[in-house]
């Protein structure tokens, strides 16, 4: 009865128990935390009712579990686990119309990739009390901005419904994402998710598309020192 239009589900461990949170995108729905109790999973807490949540991201900050919810009606909201339940901690400033969120860690810092369908997607970094804007990337038509660790490179792929999807690489000296390559041709048709897979010593990238076939790329390293 609580889940009317589930749009995303994320697994997390809380107090040693497996749980998952389901983001509900319905106007009358409520994002819900479910935890294992005996043979099944049961509602533990209702979160963020009436906000049309589109995405949930579980992460750890300051040694504690946190949960970030993106919604169609307000800026992303950050919750922290306190006293056996999630409590609101802060929101993400200057980040309206965020469709999805993903995070990664590099050099001891926590970074956040915020996907925006209209406007610029954003990269933010945790400063100990809140996420601060680090970088903006043009992203009209984006539903996914996904960080990936492939070989020794921290990458992030910005998918697009209207143009070639872009691969960025984190430059450690600058702490910024720099363009690496475009995926295509052929262009991905409405990409929604990317997954790296290693098989028999080779690295592949699966690109799942909403309006076209899933495409598979193989990762190559070129020695340009000569």
Query: Which pLDDT score is estimated for 50?
Result: 75
Tell me: pLDDT of 115 over 70: yes
Q: Could you tell me if residue 152 is inside a domain?
A: no
Give the strands of the sheet with 215-218, arranged side by side: 191-199, 202-209, 215-218
Tally of domains in the chain: 1
Percentage of residues of the chain with pLDDT beyond 70? 99
- Taking the mean position of all CA atoms in its chain, how far away is CA 43? 23
The answer to whether 183 and 206 have CB atoms below 8 angstroms apart is no
Interatomic CA distance for residues 84 and 12, integer angstroms: 14
Domain that holds residue 39: 1-56+73-88
Q: Could you tell me if residue 150 is inside a domain?
A: no
Q: Could you tell me if residue 17 is inside a domain?
A: yes
Q: Could you tell me if residue 48 is inside a domain?
A: yes
Confidence of residue 27 (pLDDT cuts 50, 70, 90): confident
For residue 177, the SS3 value is strand
Query: Which pLDDT score is estimated for 94?
Result: 84
- Start-to-end CA distance of the chain, whole Å, equals 63
Q: Could you tell me if residue 10 is inside a domain?
A: yes
Query: Which pLDDT score is estimated for 1?
Result: 65
- Average pLDDT value for residue range 52-74: 93
Interatomic CA distance for residues 156 and 146, integer angstroms: 5
Tell me: pLDDT of 134 over 80: yes
Confidence of residue 140 (pLDDT cuts 50, 70, 90): confident
Q: Could you tell me if residue 113 is inside a domain?
A: no
32-68 residues labelled b (16+ CB within 10 A) or e (exposed): bbbbeeeeeeeebbebbeebbbbbbbbbebeeebbbb
The model's pTM is 0.91
- Average pLDDT value for residue range 186-214: 94
Mean pLDDT of the chain: 92
- Taking the mean position of all CA atoms in its chain, how far away is CA 80? 17
Query: Which pLDDT score is estimated for 165?
Result: 95
Q: Which two tokens stand for residue 225?
A: 């020192």
- Average pLDDT value for residue range 125-136: 94
Interatomic CA distance for residues 106 and 226, integer angstroms: 29
Phi, psi of 134 (to 5 degrees): -115, -35
Tell me: pLDDT of 101 over 80: yes
Query: Which pLDDT score is estimated for 45?
Result: 94
- Average pLDDT value for residue range 100-118: 95
Confidence of residue 51 (pLDDT cuts 50, 70, 90): confident
The answer to whether 219 and 150 have CB atoms below 8 angstroms apart is yes
Q: Could you tell me if residue 8 is inside a domain?
A: yes
Q: Which two tokens stand for residue 42?
A: 């049961």
Query: Which pLDDT score is estimated for 125?
Result: 96
- Average pLDDT value for residue range 32-60: 91
Hunting for tokens 């990936």 — which residue is that? Answer: 148
Q: Could you tell me if residue 114 is inside a domain?
A: no
Percentage of residues of the chain with pLDDT beyond 90? 77
- Average pLDDT value for residue range 139-163: 93
């Amino acid at each position: 009865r609580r889940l009317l239009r589930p749009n995303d589900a994320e697994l997390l461990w809380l107090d040693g128990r497996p749980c998952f949170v389901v983001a509900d995108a319905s106007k009358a729905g409520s994002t819900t935390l479910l935890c294992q109790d005996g043979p099944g999973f049961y509602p533990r807490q209702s979160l963020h009712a009436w906000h049309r949540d589109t995405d949930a991201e579980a992460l750890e900050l300051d040694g504690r579990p946190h949960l970030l919810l993106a919604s169609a009606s307000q800026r992303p909201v950050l919750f922290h686990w306190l006293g056996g339940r999630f409590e609101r901690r802060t929101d993400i400033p200057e980040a309206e119309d965020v469709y999805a969120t993903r995070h990664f860690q590099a050099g001891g810092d926590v970074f956040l990739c915020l996907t925006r369908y209209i406007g610029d997607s954003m990269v933010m970094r945790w400063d100990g009390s809140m996420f601060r804007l680090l970088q903006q990337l043009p992203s009209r038509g984006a539903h996914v901005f996904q960080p990936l660790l492939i070989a020794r490179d921290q990458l992030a792929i910005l998918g697009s419904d209207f143009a070639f999807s872009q691969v960025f690489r984190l430059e450690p000296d600058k702490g910024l994402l720099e363009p690496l390559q475009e995926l295509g041709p052929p262009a991905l048709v409405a990409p929604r998710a990317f997954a790296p897979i290693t098989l028999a010593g080779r690295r592949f990238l699966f690109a799942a598309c909403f309006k076209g076939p899933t495409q598979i790329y193989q990762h190559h390293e070129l020695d340009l020192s000569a």
